[in-house]
A = this chain, B = another copy of it.
Amino acid sequence: MNTEKRTYHHGGLRDALIEAAVLILEEEGIAKMSLRSIARKAGVSQAAPYSHFANKSALLIEVAAFGFSKFSSALENPVASGDTPDDLREHLAKLGVVYVNFAMENKALFQLMFGDALSHISKSETYLKEGERAYNCIDKAVRRLKDEAAATLAAWSMVHGLATLMVDQKINVAPDVGNQVRSILQFLSLK
């Protein structure tokens, strides 16, 4: 990817560190993603990240922000085909399937995004923006069927609960995740 020769000054180290962190997260899991291992992967010294981030958490916020942008893009993909209740219902089911599939295909990233390891530190602009984008996808889809805040929370809770129970290995994951999501969504009534 990077064919340019390395100099003392890296150039785009900030983004390179975020990229390196995402790679370690995918390949080795959250436990192996130390600030030092991120720096090693980016080919710089252990102290170099502190030129671009206040601390490890500040870097991880940007990794989570990347996660939310990827997540939001996936959620924006399925579009309702029409305006009938059946179309809107099908649209919501598809969002649920996308939600749970994202969690299973990006386990460590999903845990970083929705876990509370980062909840005490201040969020970045992009983190907040991408997080809202994801939330709005779900909120809009639900409110076309039932325009109540509690309805969005009910649907989100059900799908998020299934996703976390799967990711955290508290339930067996069915061979067809899509069917499993739809089999519980039949008990979500938005009348």
Contact = CB atoms under 8 A, between A and B. Distances in A.
A116 B189 CA distance: 30
A158 interface: yes
Interface string A99-120: 0000000000001001110010
A34 to B, nearest CB: 15
A148 to B, nearest CB: 9
Given A116-B169, A188-B188, A160 B154 contact: no
A70 B184 CA distance: 28
* Chain A interface helix/strand/loop/mixed: helix
A153 B171 contact: yes
Interface in A1-21: none
Contacts of A45: none
Nearest to A157: B161
A186 interface: yes
Given A146-B187, A158-B161, 18 more contacts: A115-B115, A115-B168, A116-B167, A116-B168, A150-B186, A150-B187, A151-B187, A153-B184, A154-B187, A156-B161, A157-B161, A157-B162, A158-B158, A160-B164, A161-B161, A161-B164, A164-B164, A187-B188
